[in-house]
Amino acid sequence: MVFGNESPMKVQVCKGKSCSERGAIYLETRLNADIRKFDYDVTVEACLCQGKCANSPVILINGETFERMNPVTASQNLVKKLNQFKSSFISKPWK
Ligand code: FES
């Protein structure tokens, strides 16, 4: 449930050493570009190491972890999660 100006979705990009060395900045840039381009109501922020350095870079979308991301897969996961989030608000007809 969304209250006030709180964003319904939160994306976190790990900015730990391993993820940073493996392109976390490119993930963050791509995700922010998607949000601006499609006018998504999403917050993107940095987070500390998630303990999954072997599978870096890592992002979290509403707390769900996505590993071995690149800018394209990060974007695809964002869109997929947004679609799931939106469809959860569409009422289904009774059968
Ligand atoms: S630095 Fe990102 S998971 Fe460890």
Quick check: is 93 in a domain?
no
User: Is residue 22 a part of any domain in this protein?
Assistant: yes
Q: Which atom of ligand 1 is nearest to the CA of 57?
A: 2
Instruction: Say how many Å lie between the CA of residue 20 and the centre of ligand 1.
Output: 8
Would 95 be classed as within a structural domain?
A: no
Ligand 1 midpoint to CA 4 (Å): 32
Range of the domain at 45: 9-87
What confidence tens digit (pLDDT) does each residue in 22-76 have? 999 999 999 999 999 988 889 999 999 999 999 999 999 999 999 999 999 999 9
Q: Write down the pTM of the prediction.
A: 0.85
Query: Which CATH number do you get for residue 28?
Result: 3.40.30.10
Residues with CB under 6 A from ligand 1: 14, 16-19, 49-50, 52-53, 56, 58
Where does residue 85 rank: exposed (0-12), middle (13-18), buried (19+ CB within 10 A)? Answer: middle
**53 within domain boundaries:** yes
Count structural domains, the chain: 1
Per-residue pLDDT at 21 exceeds 80: yes
